[in-house]
Structure 1
């Protein structure tokens, strides 16, 4: 099996680095300055235990790969880039099996417009990518959790095989029959990404926590109205607690999660597929979701104007989403 990573940022880069370190056949698809830096100097991979440079094969576009029957693609681009990435991949690679190692729950459906074999991958991994050519993983021992399963439910032999490979490469991974229920739980967790990106450390203030509660209360109501079941928070906490050990890295300031990082890098944010997913479900099922819709709009404005992470006082955010 060759694993092709489409999108070698924090998540894709970390997965590719660990697989490559453990002797697996890996190729990265990474565009722009990040891909150019990897091509010229290798991927710098930083963890609590190491700082290494890995000469992983990298290309800028799926057209530059000679595709084979044993290839598997892990899609790790941001959700707003999935449709274009899927189209390019399908044109060049044909019916390759694809795994969505992405936040949100819309990506598998987008991929299924192009591919017969679509799998979900529920990613729990404290990793970051700010500087071109570098990815940083903050969990000691186990690097992250990558549970896999079929988009339509159940799991198959490919899930079994990939989980074994990932487990042998310092990830916790297992086939699960309800991977989308796990990804809906991850969606609920990610609703706070915008609060962190907008307010920084203010996320932990009473006002920040109150904002997050409003977002989650709306989400719970919207999922219930839609008949969608997420795994319990207790199950999620147990899985994380069993495997993730977030550790500081000497000389490195750890920023925020994926949305914070996108804002810090001046990139588009995927809030439309996080809080925007809740707003969509609310509109479809007659459930008011004004807080999530307001956060979606605030994040869109912040990204468009180049606002730095942490620029909004938490009290201001709470006042805005309360209306």
Structure 2
């Protein structure tokens, strides 16, 4: 992959993540084409451009945008930025548009390179981890609310020249982007942090307000520990980011360490203009399915594989599905059920 090739980019999924990154790359001179399944969003980008709003400045970019069924051509660099539950379908659909020797970068939540590998040669798939705050507001408009860690790396941990080039590309969006030999360590840590976010999302509290609740911190701590137990059993070395310290949620860690990490996450989220998680927006605002199976489902799956119990994670998945189905309301009483299960398991 040459430097010239790396500047011609196909962004598959132009929502919160893909829209924000793609707009910044385009503004800095890259040749970006957007693909999205939402025809109204595509039409808005074509007619009016893609607008980025938020505390880091407002700007608009003009770029080609199409739906997958009308896309023509091939690219050396494809950034896959869809919701995690759409990964398999997106990977199958984009495969014909990937040049021989080209690369797909999964810029998503979850362990999605493992899914993409089933449809595209693993040698052409890189992993990425992002934790910045952004929301799709309406067709043609994305809100970029808070900076966060951006990481990229080869699945096998090798520091390759193409990984260096892609890291340099992402640095146009996030100057402190990290090129890591352990991208899966970040992705597993995001699963643990994600478990906490899913728990905050069953309430109507903001992320920071929820994580700051003294009475709920034992629950958040045990949720994090469940994921870390599975990660360790799976041979993963988790990585710290944006206040989340995986060492604080290891089975051997004391409660004081977990309290300190939770304080760090509260402080990080207080600085963001994005107050609630995308999970909460999916449930409360957009009324659509969340990424719960594509994120926490991995924890339950590998927990079963390694014989590590994950009762809280499994219960949280159940609660989220009930809210998605309209049989359960958002509210703090949902945490009461999780807390009761935790006490039962600890008895």
* TM-score bin (small chain): 0.7 to 0.9
Deviation at 1:284, TM superposition (A): 0.9
Q: Alignment partner for residue 79 of structure 1, among 70, 75, 84?
A: 84
For the structure 1 residues 89 and 307, does the alpha-carbon distance in structure 2 shift closer, same or farther, using more than 3 Å as the test? Answer: farther
2:182 is the alignment partner of 1:174: no
Tell me if structure 1 keeps the 8 A contact 2:10–2:34: yes
After the TM superposition, which residues 9-28 of structure 1 pair with which residues of structure 2 at under 5 Å, given as runs? 9-28=15-34
Equivalent residues of 1:29, 1:62 under 8 A apart: no
Aligned residue among 109, 120, 130 for 1:103? 109
What is the Cα deviation at residue 318 of structure 1? 2.5
Name the structure 1 match of 2:229. 221
Contact 1:102 1:122 in 2 (8 A): yes
Q: Secondary structure at the match of 1:223?
A: helix
Instruction: Please give the alpha-carbon distance, in whole angstroms, between the structure 1 residues aligned to 2:37 and 2:233.
Output: 40
Out of 192, 208, 222, which is 2:216 matched to? 208
Matching of residue 30 in structure 1 with residue 51 in structure 2? no
**Aligned twin of 2:297:** 276
Matched residue count: 310
Deviations 1:69-112 (A, max 9, x none): xx20111111110000000011343543100111111x101111
Structure 1 unaligned spans of 5+:
none
Tell me what 1:90 maps to. 95
Aligned to 2:153: 149
Asked whether the equivalents of residues 9 and 32 of structure 2 are also in contact (C-alpha less than 8 Å), the reply is: yes
| Preserved CA contact (<8 Å) 2:44 2:140 | yes
Match of 1:183 in 2: 187
Kept after mapping to 2: 8 A contact 1:207/1:318: no
Q: Tell me if structure 1 keeps the 8 A contact 2:151–2:183.
A: yes
C-alpha distance in 2 between matches for 1:132 and 1:188: 32
* CA separation of 1:259 and 1:235: change in aligned 2, threshold 3 A: closer
Cα distance change of structure 1 residues 269 and 245 upon mapping to structure 2, 3 Å threshold: closer
Cα RMSD (Å) of the superposition? 2.8
SS for the counterpart of 2:219 is helix
Change (3 A) 1:200 1:138: same
Q: Which residue of 2 aligns with 1:298?
A: 319
Aligned: 1:135 with 2:142: yes
- The correspondence for 2:202, drawn from 191, 198, 203, is 198
Q: Which moved more, 1:211-220 or 1:18-27?
A: 211-220
Partner Cα separation in structure 1 for residue 327 and residue 175 of structure 2: 35
2:280 and 2:48 map into 1 onto residues whose CA distance is 26
Query: Shift of residue 62 of structure 1?
Result: 6.4
The 1:133–1:215 alpha-carbon spacing in structure 2 relative to 1, beyond 3 Å, is same
> How far apart in 1 are the matches of 2:223 and 2:155?
26
Give the whole-Å Cα distance in 2 for the aligned partners of 1:22 and 1:271.
34
User: Partner of 1:268: helix, strand, or coil?
Assistant: coil
Instruction: Choose which of 42, 67, 72 in structure 2 pairs with 1:65.
Output: 72
How much does 1:37 deviate?
Answer: 2.4
